[in-house]
């Protein structure tokens, strides 16, 4: 996972001024518009070892931690059984925070959603509550999805009484539309917002989504890298710290984060300086990994081709998420395979899975879904 760069701002400040032009790949339509990078495409492989739980500390050390190899630990029960009620799952957070049949969407299908316990723990609107670090992506006015996304946001603001300063967002929208007038320079790529708001913003967006068809839902609203140490004590108690984190190495926890929001979600290609235990709570994500040497080579090759200056690949900064760098890295890691000798590995993490990513292993993460449903993960960096 990436460490965030940049300061958190208030929601009002975010809506007024905190915009960073960004060139993510968020939808199929935008995917189809991306330029082809000259970097050779990897042949996707799956050499990541998989073990069914329970996995002992000794086995974890022998097969993964000590040799520095990725390891996927999956539940012993098949996925046809609701993982939320599986007693072997190490986190009380799953049954405490999430409900399997939270609300039904327009088709009658039950969707996973937050429990009252989770919402009340963080604090509802009007009560003292924790402000969480959010990210929101809005496409460029030149993108085919732009008008629909903006309509979705305004429809959400009108339908759900949340008391947010959406008029400020309206001013931002008007300014972007003015810049898109004939003869004006249209900013490339979507705008990437970082701001703070209570968890009830995510709850309201999810309630809005169950009433809407997929094309009209709120998407890409993401609580990104919420430090577990910054959450209420009850949240920390619900999660605890996995035994692998405490006992496989020195027991030194470098950091830990919660990632929770509306699909699609995306984290660009990067590496971490410490081992990472990534645990999926709700939804599923696809992770592509590369060994340290090849990942560094691929990253530097892209940097060289686009003429970018060297940067820290472990920082979640706007410069990594925009322009030719984002396009070239995404194409190199997620494009169609063309080079059979390249060492890019792929693994899918589902609810109950625990993925160990060794330090300096490069990785990029995408949600499998893209219909505005909930996706939640938690991870620990440790030594």
Lowest mean pLDDT among 142-156, 201-215, 295-309: 142-156
* Candidate ranges 87-91, 329-333, 336-340, 369-373; pick with highest mean pLDDT: 369-373
Q: Is 134 helix (H, G, I), strand (E, B) or coil?
A: strand
Q: How far apart are CA 302 and CA 296, in angstroms?
A: 10
Lowest mean pLDDT among 24-38, 49-63, 288-302, 360-374: 24-38
Strand order in the sheet with 191-197: 20-21, 191-197, 132-138, 221-227, 253-262, 374-382, 276-282, 354-357, 71-74, 49-52
Query: 38 pLDDT exceeds 50?
Result: no
Q: Which residue has the higher pLDDT, 207 or 5?
A: 207
Percent of the chain with pLDDT strictly greater than 70: 66
Q: What is the pLDDT of residue 136?
A: 82
Lowest mean pLDDT among 16-30, 94-108, 236-250, 297-311: 16-30
Q: Which residue has the higher pLDDT, 261 or 324?
A: 261
**102-156, pLDDT tens digit by residue?**
777 666 677 788 888 888 888 754 455 678 888 887 776 667 777 787 777 777 7
- Per the prediction, the chain carries an average pLDDT of 76
**271-282, pLDDT tens digit by residue?**
999 999 999 999
**254-263, pLDDT tens digit by residue?**
999 999 999 9
Q: How far apart are CA 355 and CA 341, in angstroms?
A: 24
CA distances in angstroms from 275 to 45, 258, 338, 354, listed in the order given: 22, 16, 30, 13
Q: Which stretches does DSSP call E strand in the chain?
A: 3-4, 20-21, 42-45, 49-52, 71-74, 98-104, 110-114, 132-138, 191-197, 221-227, 253-262, 266-271, 276-282, 285-290, 315-316, 339-349, 354-357, 362-367, 374-382
Q: What is the pLDDT of residue 374?
A: 94
Q: Which residue has the higher pLDDT, 71 or 13?
A: 71
Lowest mean pLDDT among 80-84, 121-125, 188-192, 248-252: 80-84
Q: Answer yes or no: are the C-beta atoms of 55 and 66 closer than 8 Å.
A: no
Alpha carbon 173 to chain centroid, angstroms: 25
Q: What is the pTM (predicted TM-score) of this model?
A: 0.80
For residue 66, the number of C-alpha atoms closer than 13 Å in the C-beta half-sphere is 8
Q: Is 202 helix (H, G, I), strand (E, B) or coil?
A: helix
Query: 31 pLDDT exceeds 50?
Result: no
Q: What is the pLDDT of residue 35?
A: 38
Q: What is the CA radius of gyration of the chain?
A: 21
**215-239, pLDDT tens digit by residue?**
888 888 999 899 999 888 888 888 8
Query: 381 pLDDT exceeds 90?
Result: yes
For residue 62, the number of C-alpha atoms closer than 13 Å in the C-beta half-sphere is 6
Tokens 């890409």, located at residue = 220
Q: What is the pLDDT of residue 163?
A: 46
**Domains plus CATH for the chain?**
3-382 (2.60.120.650)
- Dig out the tokens for 217 from the structure: 């839902």
**363-373, pLDDT tens digit by residue?**
999 999 999 99
Q: What is the pLDDT of residue 353?
A: 92
Q: Which residue has the higher pLDDT, 18 or 302?
A: 302
Q: What is the pLDDT of residue 83?
A: 60
Q: What is the pLDDT of residue 127?
A: 52
Q: How far apart are CA 379 and CA 228, in angstroms?
A: 9
């Amino acid at each position: 996972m990436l460490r965030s760069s940049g300061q958190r701002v208030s929601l009002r400040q975010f809506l007024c001024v905190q915009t960073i032009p960004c060139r993510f790949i968020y939808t199929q339509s935008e995917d189809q518009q991306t330029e082809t990078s000259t970097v050779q495409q990897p042949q996707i492989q799956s050499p990541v070892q998989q073990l069914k739980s329970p996995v002992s500390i000794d086995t974890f050390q022998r097969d993964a931690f000590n040799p520095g190899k990725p390891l996927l630990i999956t539940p012993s029960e098949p996925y046809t059984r609701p993982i939320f009620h599986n007693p072997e799952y190490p986190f009380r957070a799953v049954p405490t925070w999430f409900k399997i049949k939270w609300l039904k969407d327009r088709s009658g299908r039950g969707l996973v959603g937050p429990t009252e316990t989770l919402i009340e723990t963080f604090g509802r609107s009007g009560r003292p509550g924790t402000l969480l670090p959010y990210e929101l992506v809005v496409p460029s006015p030149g993108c085919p999805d732009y008008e629909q996304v903006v309509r979705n946001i305004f429809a959400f603001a009108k339908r759900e009484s949340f008391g947010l300063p959406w008029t400020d967002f309206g001013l931002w929208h008007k300014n972007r539309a003015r810049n898109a007038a004939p003869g004006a320079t249209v900013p490339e790529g979507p705008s990437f917002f970082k701001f703070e708001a209570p968890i009830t913003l995510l709850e309201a967006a999810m309630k809005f989504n169950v009433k809407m068809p997929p094309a009209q839902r709120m998407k890409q609203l993401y609580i990104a890298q919420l430090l577990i140490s910054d959450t209420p004590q009850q949240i920390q108690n619900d999660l605890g710290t996995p035994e692998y984190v405490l006992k496989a190495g020195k027991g030194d926890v470098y950091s830990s984060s919660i990632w929770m929001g509306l699909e699609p979600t995306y984290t660009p290609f990067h590496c971490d300086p410490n081992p990472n235990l990534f645990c999926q709570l709700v939804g599923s994500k696809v992770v592509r990994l590369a060994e340290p040497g090849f990942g560094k080579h691929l990253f530097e090759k892209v940097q060289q081709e686009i003429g970018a200056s060297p940067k820290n690949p472990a920082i979640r900064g706007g410069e990594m998420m925009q322009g030719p760098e984002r396009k070239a890295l995404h194409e190199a890691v997620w494009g169609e395979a063309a080079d059979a000798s390249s060492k890019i590995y792929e693994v899918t993490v589902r609810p109950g899975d625990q993925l160990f990513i060794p330090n300096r292993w490069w990785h990029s993460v995408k949600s499998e879904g893209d219909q505005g449903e909930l996706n939640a993960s938690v991870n620990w960096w440790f030594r």
